Amino acid sequence: MKLKHFLWRCLQNGLPANEAIYKRIGKGSNLCCGEDTETIEHIFFFCPKAQVVWRIALVRWKGITELQYNMWRWWDAVTQSAMKEQGMDRIKLKVNMLWQIWTARNKMTFQTENVDAKLIVDKAQQEWIEYEAENETDTRTNASSEVDRQIQQGWEPPKEGVIKINTDATISAKMVTTSLGIIARN
């Protein structure tokens, strides 16, 4: 959830990059590293540290580097790859990379702590691996507890004089359809 919120803030230009702060309150510097204006795109793609991070990272896609000047266009191109082989894994890792770059930027800005690019990549990969491992454990645990609950619960016919109503619904965002099922039994 933290990464989803972070990504949403990136796409809404809601991160407190120097340029945004300077435009809002007119104080401080709008520069990053004393070189270029610190926009969100600069932080993640054009800052010398970010460029080193992306060079040593294992996630690359041809054709999206020219879209890095606009976060929305870049993100749209990234999400288009979801259907490709290991697309979702690569997207999750890229979001982790963005988060680690942001975290390293904040350490430099507020604690004057320079984080090595290799450490940024390693941390992003490690957090992604831990997240995936935890999700596998949760999925197995939830699946087995659901089966146990169904076995224990079972279906019982309604008592004499009672009508039992069961309902279920589904929504398909892909097909833009909804379905509803209702069963009444005596």
For the chain, the average pLDDT equals: 83
Reported as a pLDDT band with limits 50, 70 and 90, residue 178 is confident
122-163 confidence digits (pLDDT tens): 999 898 888 888 887 765 555 555 555 555 556 677 888 888
Instruction: Flag whether pLDDT at 115 surpasses 90.
Output: yes
Residues 98 and 176 in one domain: no
Select the highest-mean-pLDDT range: 38-52, 85-99, 124-138. 38-52
Q: Amino acid letter at 59?
A: V
Instruction: Flag whether pLDDT at 98 surpasses 90.
Output: yes
Residues 60 and 141 in one domain: yes
Residues 44 and 27 in one domain: yes
30-44 confidence digits (pLDDT tens): 888 767 889 999 999
Residues 83 and 143 in one domain: yes
Residues 135 and 71 in one domain: yes
Structural domains of the chain, count: 2
Residues 15 and 79 in one domain: yes
Q: Which residues does 22 contact at the CB level (< 8 Å), separation at least 6? A: 28, 29, 30
Q: Report helix, strand or coil for 178.
A: strand
Residues 168 and 84 in one domain: no
pLDDT of the residue at 99: 95
Helices 2-11 and 87-111, interaxial angle, to 10°? 80
Residues 163 and 78 in one domain: no
Q: Amino acid letter at 178?
A: T
Under a CB-based contact definition with an 8 Å cutoff, are residues 119 and 100 in contact?
no
Residues 96 and 171 in one domain: no
Q: Amino acid letter at 145?
A: S
Residues 129 and 179 in one domain: no
Q: Which of the residue ranges 36-45, 49-58, 85-94, 101-110 would you say has the lowest mean pLDDT?
A: 85-94
Residues of the domain holding 163? 158-185
